[in-house]
Structures are given as C-alpha cells and as structure tokens.
Amino acid sequence: MKIVRQQKLWQLTTFPLFFPINAYLIPEDDRLTLIDTGIGRSGKGIVEEIKKTGANLTHIILTHGHSDHVGGLKEILLAFPDAEVAISKREVKLFKQKDLFAFEAQQPVRGSFPKMGLPVRPDRLLKDGDMIGSLIVIETPGHTPGSISLYDERNGHLFVGDLLQTRGGLTICGVPNWRFPFPKMGSWDLETSIASVQKILSYQPTLLATGHGRLLDNPETALLDALDQARSMQKNR
C-alpha cells in the first residue's frame, strides 16, 4: 500500500502501479475519519496504518457503493467495531435494487456492487449538507445515483469518489479515458455527472482527491477543462 501523507489528509493507495484504488484518512483532533475502504484485501493495510497513528477510527464514510470502495469495510470494522458507518440515503438502496426514480436519468446503473450488500447496516444515511466532523456532505450523483463528495471546511480539500478520476489525466466519469478506462465502464449518467462537477466548482476546492489517481492541487482550471471536454462529447453524440 502506498501512503501519501499531508497535513489533514493521508491518501492510502492499493495497487498504486496498475489499478490505483484510493482511501483517505482525515485526522480530526485526536480521532480519524476514513473515506472509502478499497477492496477486500485493502482492509488489512488500512487497519495497520490506522494503528500506527495511535488514534481511534470513529467514522467511515463511503462515497458510493462499488466494490472497490466498500470492499475493505468488513476487515476494518473487525478492528474498529465502534466506528460509525455512513453512506448516502440514495446509494444504500442500490444494494437491494437498481430501480431509478422518475426524476433521475433513465440509464442503467453500472459497476460492481457487493452481492450481499454492506456487511453491516449503515449507522447513518447521509444527505446534502450533513456534516461529519469537518466534512460537509455534497450530493454529487452521476457515477452512481447516490454518489457523494466530501468537502473539508478547514482547508478546502474535496473528496469526490469516482465523480472524477485523476489517473490517466483529470476526466469526468462517463468520459472515455483510454489510459484508465475503468471508471467510465462503471459510470451511470454523464449529464448528471457534468451537473455535479459544476456544483463542486462552486465550493472552490483547493485540492481534489479522487478514488483513482493522484491528488490534484488547485484544481479549478483542470476542472473547467474537464467540463469542456465532457460537454463537447455530449454535443457530438
């Protein structure tokens, strides 16, 4: 597991060379929040890193329900059984059935969700504007109908799950990226994703942290470029 450690943000990456899958540890005073949990075999490495810090893990937030983001949850909960598990209210429904609401884009929900759902019932179902420590929940559907982003109000760090990828160059999910095509293959609706990227721009993030790929400082210009690319793709369809 590769660790990139910054103040108020540690990026923990499983398979950094070929299929990077990120989870993030966010320190809050004397405790930690984990964003996403990687795949099943990521769990052990994440637990080891948390134990090294000596701090307690009190919150686990899942940006969406795909197996490469929730797979490590079981292992992590064995080590930290009291950690509160949170996921969006919309996303949790997808473990049971993939039906869409009438107001949502009528596109198939893609990507791999664990067949048995989450190993525990989530303690908290999140919606826009909720807070967990310093993190504000922003509903950013598109990759999946219930995907969320998290904005750290202390420093402007923004954690977007798979709404965008930085592996292979910054790309909005749903836009093809031949250098790392997997997020596109698992994405639900591009138009919804474009609207969500416009929404996160209004937060003026200072750093973008994605589910797949490196951290991106001062992402505004790159986000605007990615939006242009996505819109021109929409037009040419």
Binding site for Zn ion (CB under 5 A): 66, 162, 186
| Tokens at 177, concatenated | 């990226």
CB of 198 to Zn ion, least distance (A): 20
Distance CA 211, CA 208 (A): 10
Minimum CB–partner distance for residue 195 and Zn ion (Å): 18
Shortest gap between Cβ of 154 and Zn ion (angstroms)? 26
Whether 157 contacts 207, CB under 8 Å: yes
Residue whose CB is less far from Zn ion, 133 or 158: 158
Least distance to Zn ion, CB of residue 167, Å:
13
Do the Cβ atoms of 145 and 100 come closer than 8 Å?
yes
- Any idea of the CA torsion for 35, 159, 196, 121, to the nearest 10 degrees? 10
Could you give the CA distance from residue 132 to residue 221 in angstroms, rounded to a whole number?
Answer: 28
Q: Phi then psi for 196, rounded to 5 degrees?
A: -70, -35
Element (H, E) at 195: helix 190-201
Which lies closer to Zn ion via its Cβ, residue 43 or residue 186?
186
**Smallest distance, Å, CB 52 to Zn ion?**
28
Q: Which is nearer to Zn ion, 66 or 90 (CB)?
A: 66
Least CB distance from residue 47 to Zn ion, whole Å? 22
Distance CA 176, CA 21 (A): 18
Residue 66 or 167 with smaller CB distance to Zn ion:
66
Closest to Zn ion by CB, 15 or 80: 15
| Closest to Zn ion by CB, 134 or 165 | 165
Measured CA distances, 107 to 51, 67, 100, 121, 130 (Å): 42, 20, 8, 27, 27
Q: How far is residue 7's CA from residue 152's CA, in Å, rounded to a whole number?
A: 12
Nearest-5° Cα angle at 80, 113 to 85:
45
Q: Which is nearer to Zn ion, 22 or 33 (CB)?
A: 22
Least distance in angstroms from the C-beta of 161 to Zn ion: 7
